[in-house]
Amino acid sequence: MNTVKIGWIGLGNMGIPMAGQLIKADYAVTVYNRTEGKNASLKEMGASAAENPQELINTTEVVIIMVADDAAVDQVFNGTNGIFDADISGKVIVNMSTVSPAISKRMAALCQEKGGQYLDAPVSGSVKQAETGQLVIMGGGDEAAFNKVKPILEKVGKLAKLVGATGAGNSAKLAINSLLALYAQGLAETVLFANEQGIATADLLELINNAAIGNVFTKIKGDAIITDNYKAAFALKHIVKDLNLAKAEGISSPLAKTTLHTFENAASKYGEEDIIAVIKQIKE
The set of catalytic residues is 173
Please name every residue paired with 162 in a beta bridge, in sequence order, or none if there are none: 139
Other Cβ atoms less than 10 A from the Cβ of 66: the count is 27
Please name every residue paired with 95 in a beta bridge, in sequence order, or none if there are none: 65, 120
71 binds ligand NAP (CB under 6 A): yes
Q: Which range binds ligand NAP by CB under 6 A, 67-75, 195-203, 205-213, 260-268?
A: 67-75
DSSP assignment of 245-261, as one string?
Answer: HHHHTT---HHHHHHHH
Candidates 23, 86, 28; CA nearest to 53 is: 86
* 11-30 positions binding ligand NAP, by CB under 6 A: 11-15
180 binds ligand NAP (CB under 6 A): no
Q: Which range binds ligand NAP by CB under 6 A, 8-16, 87-95, 141-149, 202-210?
A: 8-16
CB 25 within 8 A of CB 155: yes
Q: Which of 118, 230, 234, 270 lies at the binding interface for ligand NAP (CB under 6 A)?
A: 234
Q: Which of 238, 260, 273, 278 lies at the binding interface for ligand NAP (CB under 6 A)?
A: 238
Please name every residue paired with 118 in a beta bridge, in sequence order, or none if there are none: 93
Q: Give least dist CB 26 to ligand NAP, A.
A: 23
Q: Residue 72 or residue 243: which is nearer to ligand NAP going by CB?
A: 72
63 binds ligand NAP (CB under 6 A): no
228 Cβ contact list (under 8 Å, min separation 6)? none
Q: Give least dist CB 198 to ligand NAP, A.
A: 33
CA torsion sign, 76 to 80 to 84 to 88? negative
Q: Which range binds ligand NAP by CB under 6 A, 34-42, 44-52, 197-205, 246-254?
A: 34-42
Q: Give least dist CB 109 to ligand NAP, A.
A: 21
Q: Which range binds ligand NAP by CB under 6 A, 60-68, 192-200, 211-219, 259-267?
A: 60-68
84 binds ligand NAP (CB under 6 A): no
Q: How far apart are CA 282 and CA 262, in angstroms?
A: 8
123 binds ligand NAP (CB under 6 A): yes
Q: How far apart are CA 214 and CA 123, in angstroms?
A: 22
DSSP E strand boundaries for 25-80: 28-32, 48-49, 62-65
The length of the chain, given as a count of residues: 284
Q: How far apart are CA 173 and CA 167, in angstroms?
A: 10
DSSP 85: G
Q: Which of 63, 72, 92, 156 lies at the binding interface for ligand NAP (CB under 6 A)?
A: 72
67 binds ligand NAP (CB under 6 A): yes
10 binds ligand NAP (CB under 6 A): yes
Q: Which of 22, 42, 76, 83 lies at the binding interface for ligand NAP (CB under 6 A)?
A: 76
Tell me which amino acid residue 245 is.
Answer: L
Q: Which range binds ligand NAP by CB under 6 A, 119-127, 149-157, 204-212, 262-270?
A: 119-127
Q: Residue 171 or residue 204: which is nearer to ligand NAP going by CB?
A: 171
